[in-house]
Amino acid sequence: MSTLSREAVAQLAEHLENAELQAQDVTKITNDYPTMDFEDAYDIQWEIRRRKEARGTKIVGMKLGLTSWAKMAQMGVEVPCYGFLADYFSCANGSAIDTSTLIHPKVEAEIAFVTNKVLTGPGCHAADVFAATECVLPAVEIIDSRYRDFKFDLKSVVADNCSSSRFVTGGRSLSVDHMDLSTAGVVLEKNGEIVDMATGAAVLGNPAESVAMLANMLAERGEVIPAGTFIMTGGVTAAVAVEAGDCISVRYHDLGSLSMRFV
Ligand code: 0L1
Ligand code: MG
């Protein structure tokens, strides 16, 4: 049940989107709206999405955040969240990412899905996801919370599009029949040194569970995952802070590798 007026939702969406576009950090919005609920938070996120689409920005995918137990514990939250990916978030594999447009970026290694059938909740489960998957491929998310020093609570994060900022994908796509995602290994290197390793099981036991969770969460708003949706399922590794001068390289079992540098 929403608690915020339409005016407050619109004003908070403008506030958070401006923080993103101007790379200016802000304090968490629940400081001023302590009684706002999750429906309000998603209302603000969907209003940010509507604002971007009204200016001609295309939505090119969805992301789940906080889908690993380790990351939920690190951030002090207990449930995952979802956000959208805008066209200008997409950066080519091997590209240089401009940190002057970001506040305090961090990178996360993820496994992404592309669907080929609509997925509808409630009750969507991993088997539905496997049956509706065109391919899986590697992805690296660059998160950039608009909140000062990454200090937030989950409602504030949801309103802020779950810190979505940039992403890199590419590598090699595979049919989900040809790999066991839960044991697929990922090695994350920063400036030539290994900083984290994980397997797909870090994400809810299997990243397909994350896609099912997205379908079930969208159903609460009467939304579905359309066929052909690119979905990033959440970090298998911890989020690693980066700054200008850093190079990131991620190697995936069977799915090739991704790299980027920050300038
Ligand atoms: O993609 C993510 O897991 C990030 C979710 C938002 C929380 C954060 O900024 O760490
Ligand atoms: Mg992520």
Instruction: Tell me which residue range forms the domain holding 61.
Output: 6-262
How much distance in Å is there from the Cα of 103 to the middle of ligand 1? Answer: 14
- Determine whether the shortest distance from the Cβ of 45 to ligand 1 is under 6 A: no
Nearest CA to ligand 1 atom 4: 65
Question: In this structure, is residue 229 part of a structural domain?
Answer: yes
Question: In this structure, is residue 12 part of a structural domain?
Answer: yes
pLDDT of residue 150: 85
pLDDT of residue 127: 97
pLDDT of residue 27: 97
Q: Which ligand is nearest to the CA of 68?
A: 1
Query: pLDDT tens-digit profile of 76-95?
Result: 777 899 999 999 999 999 99
**Cβ neighbours around 109 below 10 Å, total:** 26
**Can you tell me which atom of ligand 1 is nearest the CA of 145?**
9
Domains of the chain: total = 1
Q: Cβ contacts of residue 19 below 8 Å, gap of 6+? A: 25, 26, 146, 160
Q: Measured in whole angstroms, how far is the alpha carbon of residue 220 from the centre of its chain?
A: 19
Question: In this structure, is residue 1 part of a structural domain?
Answer: no
Q: Please tell me the pTM assigned to this model.
A: 0.97
Question: In this structure, is residue 49 part of a structural domain?
Answer: yes
User: What percent of the chain is modeled with pLDDT above 90?
Assistant: 91
Question: In this structure, is residue 108 part of a structural domain?
Answer: yes
> Taking the C-alpha atoms of 123, 79, 112 and 50 in order, what is their torsion angle to the nearest 10 degrees?
90
Distance CA 187, CA 73 (A): 21
Q: What CATH number is given to the structural domain containing 104?
A: 3.90.850.10
- Determine whether the shortest distance from the Cβ of 19 to ligand 1 is under 6 A: no
- Of the pLDDT bands very low, low, confident and very high (cuts 50, 70, 90), residue 72 is confident
Query: pLDDT tens-digit profile of 103-148?
Result: 999 999 999 999 999 999 999 999 999 999 999 999 999 999 999 9
